[in-house]
């Protein structure tokens, strides 16, 4: 798995229109916090029981078909690493993780969006 900053991921997606951009956050995060433009939601972990999505790998494989690169994003870049490792274990070859995720790391006041992440970098996003 390769790791890209949000700006590198945005450029990669622009340069590789065949790539699949997957938001692995929960449906609630996707709905209430917003989403990166051009992403599709396939949760890695989701409510109501907050279990791993048993269909995650098969849904990503269907979306990516045979040889399309897969770019994963979550809130902070941690869940997407776990999801990416599962995809690599399942045989996907070209998996990318967006460092710092959509909202970025926590600051000293436990707030996000203050020093890194997709939104902090001013990249295209939409409120769902």
Q: What is the pTM of this model?
A: 0.94
Element (H, E) at 35: strand 35-36
- Per-residue pLDDT tens listing for the chain (128 residues): 999 999 999 999 999 999 999 999 999 999 999 999 999 999 999 888 889 999 999 999 999 987 899 999 999 999 999 999 999 999 999 999 999 999 998 889 888 888 899 999 999 999 87
CATH of the domain at 93: 3.40.250.10
Closest CA relative to residue 65, chosen from 19, 16, 125 = 19
Q: Which distant-in-sequence residues (6+ apart) come within 8 Å of 45 by Cβ?
A: 26, 51, 52, 53, 79
User: Helices 56-64 and 79-89 meet at what angle, rounded to 10?
Assistant: 70
Q: State the residue range of the domain holding 115.
A: 2-126
Q: Give the count of domains, the chain.
A: 1
């Amino acid at each position: 798995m390769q790791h890209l900053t949000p700006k590198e991921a945005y450029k990669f997606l622009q340069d590789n229109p065949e790539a699949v951009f997957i938001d692995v956050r929960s449906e609630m995060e996707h709905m209430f916090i917003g989403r990166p433009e051009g992403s599709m939601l396939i949760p890695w972990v989701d409510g109501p029981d907050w279990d791993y999505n048993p269909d995650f790998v098969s849904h990503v494989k269907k979306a990516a078909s045979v040889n399309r690169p897969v770019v994963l994003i979550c809130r902070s870049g941690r869940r997407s690493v776990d999801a990416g490792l599962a995809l690599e274990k399942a045989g996907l070859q070209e998996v990318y993780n967006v460092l710092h995720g959509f909202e970025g790391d926590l600051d000293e006041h436990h707030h996000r969006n203050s020093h890194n992440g997709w939104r902090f970098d001013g990249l295209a996003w939409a409120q769902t």
